Amino acid sequence: MRWCSVGKMHCSVARTLAVVGERWTMLILREAFLGRRRFDDFQRNTGIARNILATRLRALTRHGIFERVRSRDSAKRVEYRLSQKGLDLYPVLISLMRWGDRWLAGKQGPPMMLIHRGCGRTTQPKMVCTHCGAALAAREMLAVPRARIASARREMKRGRAWLARPSTLV
């Protein structure tokens, strides 16, 4: 299967990877979340070849991740600003960062810390259930096709053993 065809699969993960799965994309997004908006800043801070960066920024703009806007400083300069669709990728980037902090940081520890603007404290964001607020862990989740959600809930209420087992995804 060719990589470009994964975007046509009936799978949200595959469709997402078709848009953001190219190896430079997350580094471009990292820079955008750090406040970078200009082509030269993206290039300088990532080391991406200019032609590859131009191609990625065009694709991310075409997919609605970035919006191209005129710079306030100069009518000739262009900035790339995250759209709402792009801002919604923040949890993805933070999840990658947290995984790297845990498994790859080494003795020096994480290279970057997150401070919550609301309280001024360092934090490590986590995924929680939108219904009950409990922290989410892979082994506590059940992936169910949309068409079977009602029957899966009924089975859970009946205490069916196959629903209590860890997900087949992990």
Residue-wise DSSP of the chain: --GGGGGGSS-HHHHHHHHH-STTHHHHHHHHHTT--SHHHHHHHH---HHHHHHHHHHHHHTTSEEEEE-SS-TT-EEEEE-HHHHTTHHHHHHHHHHHHHHT--TT--S--EE-TTT--EE----B-TTT-PBP-GGG-----GGGHHHHHHHHHTT-HHHHSPPTT-
Would 32 be classed as within a structural domain?
A: yes
The count of domains in the chain is 2
Listed residues 57, 87, 117: the one ending a domain: 87
Q: List pLDDT tens digits, range 35-61.
A: 999 999 999 999 999 999 999 999 999
Structural domain range at position 35: 3-87
Q: List pLDDT tens digits, range 110-124.
A: 999 999 999 999 999
pTM above 0.75, yes or no: yes
Examine the domain organization and report whether 78 and 23 are in the same domain: yes
Q: List pLDDT tens digits, range 156-166.
A: 788 765 555 55
CATH at residue 57: 1.10.10.10
